[in-house]
Amino acid sequence: MMEKTLVILKPCTLQRGLVGEIINRFERKGLRLAGMKMVQLTDEVLSEHYAHLSSKPFFQRVKDAMMVCPVIVCCFEGVPDAVQVVRTLTGPTNGRLAAPGTIRGDYSMSFQENIVHASDSPETAEVELKRFFKPDEIFEYKQAVFGSLYANDEILKEKPKKRMILKCVKVVAAAAFALVSLNVSGQDLLARQAPIDR
Ligand code: ADP
């Protein structure tokens, strides 16, 4: 099962001309780009997106910074844990404390101007992706490198459930077939025996 997550390249990233470099970080990790577009965010959508910060003194400042220019919203996808993988690549909120090697650690000196937003859980990712993308803006396609990115059992991780359901369907179908056959042959037998009984 593929997991999707939302990444927003913040205005500071566009202002500094880092869009290509940051997208490249996620791509070279092996995450598949499933959707991408440029949008000008509004105070309304940001109030919803950053609702968890509404009591903070910097709430309006953070929203204002997100409206300086358009942002790039991306949907990245990978087999389970894509959300966590993207958060790990991104690093902690404060760029000054983020470890070198993480995106914020390599490109940010700020708590606020920290290059990207990344969903913090699969549940949040689902809500956030719906906030920024229409269903037909997310694309399903197979990458030729897929088989080289994952081991078979990683790709099939979620499939046992499906296989189990299929097995059950097969067993029930076989049992039904056997019952029908038994009933038919029983009736045949009775029909054949009928003249003898008379
Ligand atoms: P994250 O983006 O790491 O998930 P939060 O959801 O807590 O972090 O905060 C959203 C954004 O608000 C941060 O990415 C950052 O731009 C800004 N922010 C959060 N905390 C602060 C802070 N103490 N000072 C300035 N900006 C902050």
Check whether 88 has a pLDDT greater than 90.
yes
Residue 61 Cβ contacting ligand 1 at under 6 Å: no
188 CA distance to ligand 1 middle (Å): 78
Residue 32 Cβ contacting ligand 1 at under 6 Å: no
Whole-number pLDDT of residue 155: 81
Q: If you average pLDDT over residues 148-157, what whole number do you get?
A: 85
Task: List C-alpha distances in Å: 26 to 110, 148, 192.
Answer: 21, 16, 74
113 CA distance to ligand 1 middle (Å): 9
For 161-171, how does the pLDDT look when each residue is reduced to its tens digit (9 = 90+)? Answer: 555 666 667 77
* 106-111 contact pairs (CB < 8 A, 24+): 107/13, 107/16, 107/18, 107/21, 107/22, 108/12, 110/12
Check whether 70 has a pLDDT greater than 90.
yes
% pLDDT > 70, the chain: 85
> What predicted TM-score, i.e. pTM, was given to this entire model?
0.82
Q: 73: closest CA among 106, 46, 51, 91?
A: 46
Residue 19 Cβ contacting ligand 1 at under 6 Å: no
For 11-49, how does the pLDDT look when each residue is reduced to its tens digit (9 = 90+)? Answer: 999 999 999 999 999 999 999 999 999 999 999 999 999
CA distance 198 to 194: 7
Whole-number pLDDT of residue 196: 47
